[in-house]
A and B are shown apart, each in its own frame.
Chain A
Amino acid sequence: MTAAQPSSQNACATAPSVAEVEASCRLPVLFLAFSGAAWLLTGVVLALLASVQLYNPTFMEGCAWVTYGRLRPAAINALTYGFALQSAFALALWLIARLGRVELSAPLGLTIAAKFWNIAVTVGVFGILAGDATGFDLLEFPLYAALPLFASYACIAAWALVTLHRRTERELYVSLWFVLAALLWFPWILSTAQGLLLVWQVPGVVQAIVAGWFGNNLLQIVLIGFALAVLFYFVPKTVNRPLANPGLARAGFWLLLLIGGWCELAQLAPVPAWIPAVSGAANALVIVPVVALLVSLWQTAEGKIGETCKENATFRFMLGAWILLLGVTLRTAIFGGHFTQFTFFDTARTDIVVLGVFGLAALGALHHIVPRLTTGEDELPSEGLADLSFWAALLGVIAVGIGFTFAGVKQAAVGASTNDKFLEFAVTGTANHLKLVTVGYGALAVSALAFLANFAFAARRCCLNCCGGAR
Chain B
Amino acid sequence: MSKNKKQPAPERAETEPTIAAGGGSAWPFVLLGVVLFGCFLHVENTGGAFRADVFQAGMKNSPPQADEPPEVKSYKRGARLYDACAGCHQPNGLGQPAQNIPPLAGSEWVFREKPDRLIRIILNAVEGPITVNKVTYDNPAMTPFRDALSDDVIADIATFIRGNAGWGNSAGFVTPDQVKAIRDATEKMGTQKWRVETLQAID
Q: Which of B9, B46, B52 contacts A378 (CB 8 A)?
A: B9
Q: Please, which residues of chain A bring their CB within 8 A of the CB of B20? A: 4, 241-246, 300
What is the total number of residues of chain A having a CB less than 8 Å from a CB of chain B?
Answer: 60
Nearest CB in chain A: distance from B22 CB, A: 7
Query: Does the CB pair A278–B47 fall under 8 Å?
Result: yes
Query: How many angstroms between the C-alpha atoms of A288 and B35 in the bound complex?
Result: 8
Q: Please, which residues of chain B bring their CB within 8 A of the CB of A284? A: 35, 38-39, 42
A248 at the interface (CB under 8 A from B): yes
Query: Does the CB pair B57–A277 fall under 8 Å?
Result: yes
What is the total number of residues of chain B having a CB less than 8 Å from a CB of chain A?
Answer: 43
Q: Which of B12, B24, B38, B48 contacts A240 (CB 8 A)?
A: B12
A459 at the interface (CB under 8 A from B): no
Query: Does the CB pair A4–B19 fall under 8 Å?
Result: yes
Q: Please, which residues of chain B bring their CB within 8 A of the CB of A249? A: 23
A2 at the interface (CB under 8 A from B): yes
Query: Does the CB pair A292–B28 fall under 8 Å?
Result: yes
B56 at the interface (CB under 8 A from A): yes
Question: What is the interface of chain A mostly: helix, strand, loop, or mixed?
Answer: helix
Query: Does the CB pair A288–B39 fall under 8 Å?
Result: no
Q: Please, which residues of chain B bring their CB within 8 A of the CB of A248? A: 23-25, 28
Q: How many A-B residue pairs have CB under 8 A?
A: 146
Query: How many angstroms between the C-alpha atoms of A42 and B28 in the bound complex?
Result: 41
Query: How many angstroms between the C-alpha atoms of A285 and B58 in the bound complex?
Result: 21
Q: Please, which residues of chain B bring their CB within 8 A of the CB of A242? A: 1, 17-20
Given known A5-B18, A174-B19, contact A273–B28 (CB-CB < 8 A): no
Query: How many angstroms between the C-alpha atoms of A173 and B16 in the bound complex?
Result: 9
Q: Please, which residues of chain A bring their CB within 8 A of the CB of B59? A: 273
Query: Does the CB pair A272–B17 fall under 8 Å?
Result: no
Q: Please, which residues of chain B bring their CB within 8 A of the CB of A247? A: 22-25
Given known A246-B23, A273-B56, A288-B32, contact A236–B39 (CB-CB < 8 A): no
CB-nearest residue of chain A to B29 = A251
Q: Please, which residues of chain B bring their CB within 8 A of the CB of A277? A: 42-43, 46-48, 57
Query: How many angstroms between the C-alpha atoms of A237 and B59 in the bound complex?
Result: 53
Given known A240-B4, A284-B35, contact A3–B21 (CB-CB < 8 A): yes
A-B contact pairs, 23 of them (CB 8 A): A6-B18, A7-B18, A233-B17, A235-B17, A237-B17, A242-B18, A242-B19, A245-B20, A245-B22, A246-B20, A247-B24, A248-B23, A248-B25, A249-B23, A255-B28, A272-B54, A273-B55, A277-B43, A277-B57, A300-B20, A338-B57, A378-B12, A379-B10
Known: A247-B23, A277-B43, A277-B48. 14 other contacts (CB 8 A): A4-B20, A5-B19, A240-B12, A242-B17, A246-B19, A247-B24, A251-B29, A255-B28, A273-B58, A274-B49, A274-B50, A278-B47, A284-B38, A292-B28
Tell me the B residues contacting A by CB distance below 8 Å. Answer: 1, 4, 9-10, 12-25, 28-29, 31-32, 35-36, 38-40, 42-43, 46-59
